[in-house]
Amino acid sequence: MSESFNLFRLQQLDLSRIKIMRRQKEIEKIINADENVQKAQQIVDEAQKALDLASKAYDTIHQQVEERNLKLKYSQAKLFGGQISNPKELQDLEAESAALKSFIAELSDQQFVALEELEERQNALKSAEETLTQVKSQTATKHSKLMGESRQLEDKLPNINTQRTALRAQVSKANYQSYVGLLKTKGGRAVAEVIDSSCDACGVRVAPGDIQRAKSPSEIVYCKTCGRMLYAK
């Protein structure tokens, strides 16, 4: 086997490795930050905030009603207790009771609206939580597939690495260094095959003499146009 063929094979293995690792990184990213889960969680958080506000508003009104009820009770006790006989005083107490009753009625309406709002918010939160649970479960299923894929990719690596080590041992140190350098500068493609007398990477024709030399077992010929190593069958 020629040096250029070994380098060409080495490149195929390296491209497979890069592809695998890139996909694994992608999968890791998807699992770490699932957009759907984050969105569903955000809706739950907002629903919880809205519920807290509605709950606070209801409590405030409820407390006001309690206070007025207590005052009314006190006022009525005085009014019907028989200890007050002064008509002016009784009239004032009656007026106070009436005002309190009217205010309580008004507050009760508000309390009812607040209660309806509270129930609505509770339902919204419950629904958002159910959605979140659903999305999480869907995501877990989706991720189990991805995790399976990642494991399958991982399983492929040892074989590739073994082949790579064996090939690397057959390539001269100088050519290997040149290969690694070209991988970095030539967009991950250091070796180009000669197909139909042209460099498969840049498409420019290769001189017949160079093609002949590229076929030799030990010589490395570089494409005069793109600078990549040439491999010819």
What residues line the site for Zn ion (CB under 5 A)? 199, 201-202, 223, 225-226
Residues 232 and 210: their CA atoms lie apart, in Å, by 10
Q: How far is the CB of 210 from Zn ion (least distance, A)?
A: 11
- Cβ-based nearer residue to Zn ion, 110 or 198: 198
Nearer to Zn ion, 211 or 226 (CB): 226
Which residue, 20 or 221, has its beta carbon nearer to Zn ion? 221
Provide the terminal-to-terminal Cα distance of the chain, rounded to the nearest Å.
11
Nearest-angstrom CA–CA distance, 3 and 10: 10
Q: Closest separation between CB of residue 186 and Zn ion, Å?
A: 9
Question: From CA 228, how far away is CA 201, in angstroms rounded?
Answer: 8
Distance CA(162)–CA(151), nearest Å, equals: 18
CB neighbourhood size of 123 (10 A): 12
Alpha carbons 76 and 64: distance in angstroms, whole number: 18
Q: How far is the CB of 227 from Zn ion (least distance, A)?
A: 7
- Nearer Cβ to Zn ion (44/223): 223
CB of 226 to Zn ion, least distance (A): 3
Nearest approach, Cβ of 228 to Zn ion (angstroms)? 5
What is the number of other CB atoms lying within 10 angstroms of the CB of residue 220?
A: 21
Chain centroid offset of residue 61 CA = 41
Place of tokens 């095959």: 193
Tell me the residue type at 21.
M
User: Of the two residues 128 and 190, which places its CB atom closer to Zn ion in the complex?
Assistant: 190
Q: Which is nearer to Zn ion, 93 or 223 (CB)?
A: 223
Q: Provide the minimum distance between the beta carbon of 182 and Zn ion in the complex, in angstroms, as a whole number.
A: 11
